[in-house]
Structure 1
């Protein structure tokens, strides 16, 4: 047995016995339990945040072989070949060094050109930052602009990372409830009712995760007017912009007086099926990007080089692939919504992303969506996320992702029908 194998076996035995050897073990000092050895206590802002409601639920699902997962928001497609090929070539050519903090200049120029399709215009030299996924960009925005005690308005139901990110930055989340009856659109009335007129920052996520909601031009104009009137900064997470099915994607940053108060976040994970390559970007006024870059420099230095080469090829050469995936998601969207309604479940028409958010309160035990999701998983092997994972506004609903094959979706709907009957 090698020394490493011997050490590993000892470590395994120690863990089973509840002991961890200290450096003093060789000198005859008594060993300590794992609890005694640990000198770390998590900060209050960390302990106050519960584990992700998505991951917690799917740890159960991962232990079963017969599960059809409608839960994780990850495309079932692989990244387009030109992007993968560019990544491989970059490695073969030894392009493994750091890039500029803000990202490769060619990539930033390509991003600037790409977003003109959404009527967005940004200087690639001073107003774009390439990040390690859109998630890093969101975190950078919170850390760069949220002071301790600042209030950040979060329309709910909302993506699971926003509230923890605000708390980690020292801010105070403010829930702004949107409604199933309004197709989950955000309104000035909802903002006023929640007290967002006193907030410092508003987070927008449209197309929305988890509801699939989009906002039309008039709705976005009204929200922009509210932000101007009450001097709100805006973090606009537009990661699903390319996956819009009805009408054109609407960006709050294009409204009069909003560009100077908005940071737009996007990336390559969803539309390009490049989740594991972890590449996103932020766009905004130069002072905003300067501040975010300062945090990025110390936390990350630069986004992954290989992923940046893949992203550049994706922008330049993969439009047809993105459109093919969008059309397939649209086909699945129409099928899932139709089947859910056939089964008697109310569901707002998702205009973007790849999620349906049906109401199950009327058929769930005591209206409890979490209990419904647990029973559905145990009885039929269909995994969906309870709406409460996305905030109190998701109570009574499930998030079902249709970023999986149509055959699996058909089987999942058949199982759901059997479960309901």
Structure 2
């Protein structure tokens, strides 16, 4: 849960890069695409009640967030009583959730949303409320009976080794199996989100157990935290695909600490890396500029691409040599396939404006000898045609450029040199360009 824990996990993650396997996803009919929604923790922590949750759902509808795809309203830690009932059940806080979780779920479902709840693979949650270790089936049944559609499963207060006699995979398997059993009995599957923080290289095994898996510690509302998470995940992008994906943690937009340009970079990187997008700000006082960022339908369309489930990946690190891990200056040049073309993300990790240039064929998704129409996904404008190269001028400090390039036919005749990367090419008689 801490930033230090994330730093320690990074070293293990980088060593594991070359062994990251293709995703073998938990394909049980839910969460094929990244979850879009809301989570209470980043803004409210334990200061939650049923009125806040219902008001948030109503605002998601009235502010147009539901219209662009945000359809989960998730309750995090601190919703329950401190102790289980005499029968061993988790029970909702009788004051703050006095109307009961069943009624609250019915109200939120009536608004057209799905709902999420939280528990832990240890004795207690991270805030000290009842965890689910030893009660996985009981709790899975409770959450289903209450009407929840999603479970975030944390990793605090785990039992001693002499009790578990298993590793972290075994503890998460217990809840996965419980959710599967309950799903059969109630006729619906519950989305399973692993909040494991990357200690055990969760990107290597998470897809077999859940629909998403946290890869680092908790996010903070500052550029250093964003840069750290982006850097770490730049080495494990191939772990993401349909039904299973790296979770970069919640969106920290509108909570102070980020400039407007940093907020755009945050949202763009999370969306294009196909992370779940869970809003973590107070919608009762959200800044219109932040709301506009969250509602960028051109960026959201790539996150929710029904044809391509893969994350963007770096094709050049930029100010650092390629494959360099730098927690303050992560990779700057990224691309990936989409159903509508090739998406590019340019991140200016410097504290000053920067001009950023790349050769189109540096991206493996671009065909040599072709020209490409350029769509700016933030200005929402068509910006002409790119031939061989593209330059973004004066990208703001910690800012982002997001482009969608579509094939527009053969490049014009007569361009010299006759190949975009001239030193790699040769005439059929063996003559190299420049010889």
What is the TM-score with the length of structure 1 in the denominator? 0.31
By percentage of residues, which structure has more helix?
1
By percentage of residues, which structure has more strand?
2
What is the TM-score with the length of structure 2 in the denominator? 0.30
Q: Which structure's relative contact order is higher, taking Cα pairs within 8 Å and 6+ residues apart?
A: 1
